[in-house]
């Protein structure tokens, strides 16, 4: 483990590099003072990785997530997504990339209050122009998978926290994205629901979807195969749950 | 995004806030209704007045003595060179002239036995019946007598007949006007009012007698009704040259119905547009209303905007979604405004049947077009603001 | 809550949502301004006509030959009747004690020419009293002779435009012109003034009334203008006039007497009605503003549910909450009205300053009704939303 900030993935499969961040910086001006949200971030993520991003509040983890999700632009540095440089892209192209590759899960769910569960999940498909019947079939199937079969026509104000987040996950997954970004997905949920949600996220990661979870809950965070820590805008060392490391740990004992 | 989905989206969005939407539509549609109503009232007035003026036809030329056209009263004044009955006679010989009516008017006391009434007296000739669209109720109108030496006949307007004779028979009786006696040969049907003048409070006598009665040498006016096959300009020239020949100079004024109507129409149109403009003030306030509500709505749905952007909606798509809501509100208001206006107009028609009111497709289309335009204008800024929102900030907003 | 605190509380609430408050303010201001400005136009027209009449002196009366029985109809404008109104008739009216001036008029049209230049204009045959009654003034030269009613002196006074047409820059006084078949000497020039009751004073000539009788070969008077010693004597004077004429006309009072009052009164009524209607229509915009107030109030109430819950938990009663929200709307409406008033009065002042001939002014009743309407609208349209605020359940509200 080196401390230069360079983090390499454990499973160095060539050709599977989905996300590559190089020397990313982002500074905000808050109340007249500059805030270095991201400082010289270097990160490589492969398809199928399960990464947790932890750190105290203000460490920049949400900012990093938003960067990766193309919701925000770095001040300098490079972000390559599936081999494409993203800095030079205009807003419309970024939107297209988001649509095709990324699914978001939010702490406060962000469901549209006037739409039912099934209608909420349909929105990404509607955006892509999928016809009504076809998309409804898909959505109902997915919602059933997630155990929400009985609630598909209910409005958000009729659902519990856990159910709401599951709808959120369904919406993130419905376009079959290659990357799933979750920002404090269990932050507004109780213990049980939180575990349920994490189980679901992991289940879909197993099918090959890259999962990146930002959390302040270390119990949750330690479930990830790669665990990144951030402090003051910098990525610190990593720890992982791979075989190699635990054997290393064993050797050191 | 499919068109069907787009429409479903904006309809659902607008319908989700029932009270807000209803109130917004109510406000804006009031403005639209106001404009339509006032425009209709203006148009009705215009048509009514024009109708009244053109009831005698449009191929009329009026000749008044003297050259100055001082608000049309020049005919009443004295003049050095009279317009005479002989002038009228020679004008009648023009081939395109259909009827020629010499006119002298005044007020006098008309007496029958002990009863008397001060009324308007019109000195005319036989063609006045057809030319002025008078209708005989009983008896006959003035006959085609020698224009210089007519018989002393008189025709009564319905009000005068009623006042002097009541239900008794008027025809054949002798009435006295200014010391001379006239025999009643006819009674007219009631004609009503025209621009504040009671047309039934009138007695018609031969023009020559009128000149005598009022002690005048000159007629006040000669009305010529001419054939529609000739142009106004051509006939005007003919009349002018004939009279100049007779008078050795142009000491008269020609007024064509065309000119009068054109001027009148201009004024009436102005009034109509002014009225519509009045309505437009309400429309303006209605627009302010739409902009306000849309702005508030966009602010409230900042989260939603952030979410949609996160999902992958492009800025221009966000804008078109909100713009669509604005236009939907506006179109609904336009339709409802139109319906409100039409209902009120139909109610008015029941009470005042004389009003020319009818379903007008153009008005509806115009109302819709204006609504859509205002919807776009009103919604542009709020929708653009929504489109410009940074997704990250939007998602974080309270 | 004291009134002062209430104002302050409301003020802060409005400031919090600047754009929203601004738009509401705009709506009310437009509504109030439109009523004020539009009625100012109508009022301007009314004052203009009054001014016109005032310049003629409100002590003027007019006698017309002929009479009509129809009530409410127009007076006999033709001026023709079987029995002429004569100069002697006019002279007889001088005996009425309440009259200070009598101006008989014989009117006609004729060509006035100076050598090769000529113009056909209206000719007024009258006397010196005419100038008094109609407040006309000479630019140059002399008045009509005192014996205009008796002697047909061949003199004339020209209107400014007529003189300019016939004599260009030269002095017309002392020159001779031809009117009809006769020659007249120019003794005076009328002051530049525009139209007065339909006759263009610039484009006409005035001769002694007896000369006019000769010129037009008719003794029939067109009108008689009279001036009263003081206002208030119209009824008495009218009676006396009718008496005298009847005496002279074989028992027939076949004339019509008009006093300035009646004509003005009719005009006044019509214009007031039109102005009020216009104002009323403009007020529809206030109604629309009211709907917006209601709409925004409802939104405001639902957005401030927690705040209301908090206030209630601190001890505010439902009535107080109701009052608070009403006051907010009223504050807004009052502000909007004031802005509308300031804007409208300022605009009217500017127009008055730059176009001094137009006496537009905002009638006081318009300002009053517009403001009152705005306040009532504000009250009525915020009543229901405020009631909703008052009905908020504090426990539920604070849980949200």
Distance from CA of C2 to the nearest CA of B (A): 31
From the CB of residue C197, how many other CB atoms can be counted at a distance below 10 Å? 13
Contact B306 A114 (CB under 8 A): no
What is the b/e burial string over B46-80, where b = at least 16 CB atoms within 10 angstroms of the residue's CB?
A: beebeeebeeeeebbbbbbbbbbebeebbbbbbbb
Contact C68 B201 (CB under 8 A): yes
Give me the residues of B, 276-315, that contact A with CB < 8 A: 303-304, 306-315
Across chain B, where does the E strand assignment appear? 60-65, 78-79, 97-112, 115-124, 136-139, 153-156, 174-177, 180-188, 193-194, 197-198, 202-206, 221-226, 252-256
Domains of chain C, residue spans: 3-52+268-399, 83-253
> Across the interface, which of A104, A106, A129 has its CB nearest the CB of B2?
A129
For residue A30, what pLDDT is reported? Answer: 81
Contact B303 A171 (CB under 8 A): no
For residue A248, what pLDDT is reported? Answer: 46
* Spatial contact of B20 and C299, defined as CB atoms under 8 Å apart: yes
What is the b/e burial string over B249-287, where b = at least 16 CB atoms within 10 angstroms of the residue's CB?
A: eebbbbbbbeeeeeeeeeebeeebeebbebbbbbbbbbb
Residue of C nearest to B19 (CA): C295
For residue C269, what pLDDT is reported? Answer: 87
Give me the residues of C, 72-131, that contact B with CB < 8 A: 73-74, 76-84, 106-111, 120-122
For residue C1, what pLDDT is reported? Answer: 63
**Distance between CA atoms of C208 and C125, rounded to whole angstroms?**
5
Instruction: Judge whether C16 is closer than 8 Å to chain B, CB to CB.
Output: no
Contact B309 A71 (CB under 8 A): yes
**Contacts with C285 from chain B: Cβ below 8 Å:** 31, 281-282, 284-285
Give me the count of residues in chain A.
253
**Contacts with B316 from chain A: Cβ below 8 Å:** 92
**Distance between CA atoms of B81 and B59, rounded to whole angstroms?**
27
In this prediction, residue C52 has a pLDDT band, given cuts at 50, 70 and 90, of confident
Contact B311 A91 (CB under 8 A): no
User: Exposed, middle or buried, B181 (CB in 10 Å: 0-12/13-18/19+)?
Assistant: exposed
Of A37 and B251, more confident: A37
- With a cut of 60, say whether residue C72 has pLDDT above it: no
**Distance between CA atoms of C397 and C400, rounded to whole angstroms?**
6
Contacts of C364 (CB under 8 A, 6+ apart): none
**Distance between CA atoms of C2 and B386, rounded to whole angstroms?**
41
Residue of A nearest to B395 (CA): A110
* Helix H or strand E encompassing C290: helix C284-303
| A159-208 residue pLDDT tens | 999 999 999 999 999 999 999 999 999 999 998 999 999 999 999 999 99
> Across the interface, which of C24, C200, C288 has its CB nearest the CB of B286?
C288
**Distance between CA atoms of C136 and C112, rounded to whole angstroms?**
21
> Across the interface, which of A115, A127, A131 has its CB nearest the CB of B311?
A127
Instruction: Judge whether B397 is closer than 8 Å to chain A, CB to CB.
Output: no
In this prediction, residue C81 has a pLDDT band, given cuts at 50, 70 and 90, of confident
**Distance between CA atoms of A40 and A25, rounded to whole angstroms?**
5
**Distance between CA atoms of C387 and C384, rounded to whole angstroms?**
5
| B378-387 residue pLDDT tens | 999 999 999 9
| C111-155 residue pLDDT tens | 888 888 888 888 999 999 988 888 788 888 989 988 888 888 899
Contact A92 B316 (CB under 8 A): yes
Distance from CA of B368 to the nearest CA of A (A): 28
The listed range with the strongest mean pLDDT (A69-78, B192-201, B357-366, C366-375) is C366-375
Q: Report, as an integer, the average pLDDT of B336-365.
A: 80
Give partners of B (≥3 CB pairs < 8 A). A, C
Chains B and A are touching, with contact defined as 3 or more CB–CB pairs separated by less than 8 Å: yes
Distance from CA of A15 to the nearest CA of B (A): 26
* Spatial contact of B61 and B236, defined as CB atoms under 8 Å apart: yes
The listed range with the strongest mean pLDDT (B47-61, B382-396, C42-56) is B382-396
Domain that holds residue A71: 17-252
Distance from CA of C234 to the nearest CA of B (A): 23
**Contacts with B291 from chain C: Cβ below 8 Å:** 23
**Contacts with C67 from chain B: Cβ below 8 Å:** 107, 109, 118
**Contacts with B390 from chain A: Cβ below 8 Å:** 72
Tell me: ipTM over 0.85.
no
Distance from CA of A114 to the nearest CA of B (A): 6
For residue A57, what pLDDT is reported? Answer: 83
| B263-295 residue pLDDT tens | 889 999 998 888 888 999 999 999 999 999 999
Residue of B nearest to C17 (CA): B296
Give the count of domains, chain A: 1
| B142-158 residue pLDDT tens | 999 888 899 999 999 99
For residue B53, what pLDDT is reported? Answer: 79
- The first and second tokens of residue C366, run together, are 């318009």
Closest CA to A93 of A23, B385, A101, A16: A101
For residue A243, what pLDDT is reported? Answer: 43
Helices and strands in chain A, H and E counts: 8, 10
Closest CA to C123 of C114, C111, C131, C113: C111
Contacts of B33 (CB under 8 A, 6+ apart): B337, B338, B340, B341, B344
The mean pLDDT value of chain C amounts to 87
Chains C and A are touching, with contact defined as 3 or more CB–CB pairs separated by less than 8 Å: no
The listed range with the strongest mean pLDDT (A179-188, B225-234, C309-318) is A179-188
Contact B310 A112 (CB under 8 A): no
From the CB of residue B337, how many other CB atoms can be counted at a distance below 10 Å? 28
From the CB of residue C291, how many other CB atoms can be counted at a distance below 10 Å? 24
Q: For residue B94, is it left (φ>0), alpha (ψ between -120 and 50) or beta?
A: beta
Question: How many CA atoms does the CB half-sphere of B226 hold within 13 Å?
Answer: 27
Q: Report, as an integer, the average pLDDT of C170-194.
A: 87
In this prediction, residue C104 has a pLDDT band, given cuts at 50, 70 and 90, of very high
> Across the interface, which of C34, C76, C298 has its CB nearest the CB of B281?
C34
Tokens 């060539």 correspond to: A14
Question: The CATH number of the domain where A159 resides is what?
Answer: 3.40.50.300
User: Exposed, middle or buried, A16 (CB in 10 Å: 0-12/13-18/19+)?
Assistant: middle
Does A10 map to a domain? no
3-state secondary structure of A15: coil
Distance from CA of B390 to the nearest CA of A (A): 8
Distance from CA of B286 to the nearest CA of A (A): 26
Q: Report, as an integer, the average pLDDT of B297-302.
A: 92
* Spatial contact of C172 and C166, defined as CB atoms under 8 Å apart: yes
From the CB of residue B197, how many other CB atoms can be counted at a distance below 10 Å? 14
> Across the interface, which of B24, B76, B278 has its CB nearest the CB of C295?
B24
Q: Report, as an integer, the average pLDDT of C270-294.
A: 92
Distance from CA of A88 to the nearest CA of B (A): 16
For residue A64, what pLDDT is reported? Answer: 92
The DSSP secondary structure of A48-76, one letter per residue, reads: T-EEEEE-STTSSHHHHHHHHTTSS--SE
For residue B393, what pLDDT is reported? Answer: 85
For residue A244, what pLDDT is reported? Answer: 41
Does A122 map to a domain? yes
In this prediction, residue C377 has a pLDDT band, given cuts at 50, 70 and 90, of very high
For residue A3, what pLDDT is reported? Answer: 44
Contact B278 C218 (CB under 8 A): no
Does A146 map to a domain? yes
Q: What is the pLDDT along chain A (253 residues), one digit of tens a residue?
A: 444 444 444 444 444 668 889 889 999 888 888 888 898 899 999 999 999 999 888 888 889 999 999 888 899 899 999 888 888 888 888 888 888 899 999 998 999 999 999 999 999 999 888 999 999 999 999 999 999 999 999 999 999 999 999 999 999 999 999 999 999 999 999 989 999 999 999 999 999 999 999 998 888 999 999 999 998 888 886 555 544 444 444 444 4
**Distance between CA atoms of B86 and B100, rounded to whole angstroms?**
12
Radius of gyration for chain A, computed over Cα atoms and rounded to the nearest angstrom: 19
The three-point CA angle C164-C170-C172 to 5° equals 75
Q: Compute the Cα dihedral for B142, B147, B152, B154 and give only its sign.
A: positive
Does A236 map to a domain? yes
Q: Report, as an integer, the average pLDDT of B179-187.
A: 92
The mean pLDDT value of chain B amounts to 88
| A237-247 residue pLDDT tens | 655 554 444 44
Residue of B nearest to A103 (CA): B311
Does A96 map to a domain? yes
**Contacts with B292 from chain C: Cβ below 8 Å:** 19-20, 23-24, 27, 292, 296
* Spatial contact of A25 and A40, defined as CB atoms under 8 Å apart: yes
- The first and second tokens of residue C226, run together, are 């009279």
Instruction: Judge whether B115 is closer than 8 Å to chain A, CB to CB.
Output: no
* Helix H or strand E encompassing C340: helix C318-354
């Amino acid at each position: 483990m080196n401390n230069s900030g360079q983090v390499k993935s454990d499973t160095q499969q060539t050709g599977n590099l989905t996300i590559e961040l190089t020397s990313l910086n982002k500074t905000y001006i808050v109340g007249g003072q500059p805030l270095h949200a991201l400082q010289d971030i270097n990160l490589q993520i492969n398809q199928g990785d399960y990464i947790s991003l932890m750190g105290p509040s203000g460490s920049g983890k949400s900012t990093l997530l938003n960067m990766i999700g193309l919701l925000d632009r770095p001040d300098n540095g490079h972000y390559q997504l599936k081999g494409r440089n993203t800095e030079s892209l205009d807003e419309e192209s970024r939107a297209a990339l988001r649509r095709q590759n990324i699914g978001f899960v939010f702490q406060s769910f962000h469901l549209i209050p006037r739409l039912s569960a099934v209608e909420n999940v349909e929105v990404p498909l509607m955006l892509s122009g999928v016809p009504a019947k076809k998309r409804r079939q898909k959505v109902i199937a997915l919602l059933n998978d997630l155990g929400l079969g009985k609630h598909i026509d209910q409005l958000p104000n009729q659902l519990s926290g856990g159910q709401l987040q599951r709808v959120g996950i369904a919406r993130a997954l419905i376009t079959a994205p290659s990357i799933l970004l979750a920002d404090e997905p269990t932050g507004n949920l109780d213990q049980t629901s939180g575990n349920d949600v994490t189980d679901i996220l992991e289940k879909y990661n197993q099918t090959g979807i890259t999962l990146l979870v930002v959390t302040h809950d270390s119990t949750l965070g330690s479930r990830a195969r790669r665990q990144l820590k951030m402090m003051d805008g910098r990525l610190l060392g990593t720890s992982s749950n791979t075989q190699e490391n635990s054997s290393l740990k064993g050797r050191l004992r | 995004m499919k068109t069907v989905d787009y429409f479903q989206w904006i309809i659902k969005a607008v319908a989700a806030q029932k009270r807000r939407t209803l109130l917004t539509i109510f406000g804006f549609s009031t403005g639209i209704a106001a404009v339509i109503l006032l425009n209709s009232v203006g148009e009705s007035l215009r048509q009514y007045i024009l109708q009244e003026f053109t009831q005698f036809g449009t191929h009329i030329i009026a000749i008044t003595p003297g050259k100055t056209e001082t608000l049309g009263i020049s005919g009443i004044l004295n003049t050095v060179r009279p317009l005479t009955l002989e002038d009228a006679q020679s004008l009648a010989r023009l081939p395109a002239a259909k009827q020629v009516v010499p006119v002298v008017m005044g007020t006098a006391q008309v007496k029958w036995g002990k009863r008397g009434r001060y009324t308007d007296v019109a000195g005319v000739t036989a063609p006045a019946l057809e030319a002025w669209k008078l209708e005989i109720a009983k008896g006959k109108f003035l006959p085609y007598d020698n224009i210089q030496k007519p018989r002393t006949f008189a025709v009564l307007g319905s009000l005068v007949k009623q006042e002097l004779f009541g239900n008794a028979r008027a025809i054949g009786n002798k009435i006295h006007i200014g010391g001379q006696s006239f025999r009643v040969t006819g009674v007219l049907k009631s004609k009503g009012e025209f621009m504040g003048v009671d047309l039934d409070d009138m007695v018609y006598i031969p023009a020559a007698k009128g000149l005598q009665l009022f002690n005048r040498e000159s007629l006040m006016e000669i009305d010529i009704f001419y054939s529609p096959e000739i142009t106004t300009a051509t006939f005007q020239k003919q009349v002018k040259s004939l009279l100049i020949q007779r008078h050795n100079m142009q000491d008269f004024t020609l007024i064509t119905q065309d000119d009068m109507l054109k001027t009148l129409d201009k004024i009436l149109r102005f009034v109509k547009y002014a009225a519509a403009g009045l309505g437009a003030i309400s429309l303006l306030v209605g627009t302010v209303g739409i902009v306000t509500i849309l702005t508030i709505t966009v602010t409230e749905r900042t989260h939603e905007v952030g979410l949609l952007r996160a999902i992958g909606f492009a800025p221009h798509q966000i804008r078109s979604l909100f713009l669509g809501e604005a236009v939907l509100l506006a179109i609904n208001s336009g339709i409802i405004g139109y319906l409100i206006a039409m209902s009120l107009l139909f109610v008015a028609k029941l009470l005042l049947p004389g009003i020319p009111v009818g379903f007008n497709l153009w008005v509806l289309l115009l109302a819709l077009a204006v609504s859509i335009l205002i919807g776009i204008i009103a919604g542009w800024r709020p929708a653009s603001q929504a489109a410009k929102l940074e997704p990250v900030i939007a998602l974080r907003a309270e | 809550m004291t009134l002062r605190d209430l104002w302050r509380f409301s003020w802060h609430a409005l400031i919090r949502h600047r754009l929203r408050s601004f738009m509401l303010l705009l709506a009310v201001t437009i509504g109030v301004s439109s009523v004020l400005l539009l009625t100012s136009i109508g009022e301007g027209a009314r004052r203009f006509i009054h001014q016109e009449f005032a310049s003629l002196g409100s002590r003027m009366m007019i006698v017309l030959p002929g009479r009509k029985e129809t009530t409410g109809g127009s007076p006999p404008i033709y001026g023709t009747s079987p029995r002429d109104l004569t100069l002697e008739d006019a002279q007889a009216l001088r005996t009425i004690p309440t009259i200070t001036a009598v101006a008989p008029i014989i009117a006609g049209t004729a060509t006035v020419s100076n050598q090769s230049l000529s113009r056909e204009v209206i000719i007024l045959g009258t006397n010196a009293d005419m100038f008094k009654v109609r407040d006309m003034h000479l630019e140059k030269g002399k008045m009509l002779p005192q014996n205009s009613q008796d002697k047909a002196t061949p003199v004339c006074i020209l209107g400014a435009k007529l003189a300019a047409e016939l004599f260009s820059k030269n002095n017309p006084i002392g020159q001779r012109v031809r009117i009809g078949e006769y020659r007249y000497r120019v003794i005076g020039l009328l002051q530049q003034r525009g139209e007065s009751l339909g006759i263009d004073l610039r484009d006409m000539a005035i001769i002694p009334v007896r000369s006019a009788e000769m010129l037009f070969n008719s003794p029939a008077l067109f009108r008689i203008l009279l001036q009263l010693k003081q206002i208030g004597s119209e009824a008495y004077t009218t009676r006396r006039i009718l008496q005298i004429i009847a005496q002279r006309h074989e028992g027939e009072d076949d004339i019509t007497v008009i006093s300035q009052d009646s004509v003005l009164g009719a005009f006044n009524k019509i214009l007031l009605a039109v102005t009020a209607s216009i104002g009323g229509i403009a007020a529809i915009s206030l109604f629309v503003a009211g709907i917006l107030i209601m709409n925004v109030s409802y939104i405001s109430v639902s957005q401030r549910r927690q705040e209301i819950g908090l206030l209630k938990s601190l001890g505010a009663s439902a009535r107080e909450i109701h009052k608070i929200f009403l006051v907010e709307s009223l504050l807004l409406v009052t502000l909007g009205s004031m802005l509308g008033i300031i804007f409208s009065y300022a605009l009217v002042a500017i127009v008055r300053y730059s176009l001094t001939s137009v006496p537009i002014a905002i009638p006081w009743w318009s300002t009053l009704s517009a403001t009152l309407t705005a306040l009532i609208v504000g009250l009525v349209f915020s009543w229901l939303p405020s009631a909703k605020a008052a009905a908020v359940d504090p426990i539920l509200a604070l849980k949200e």
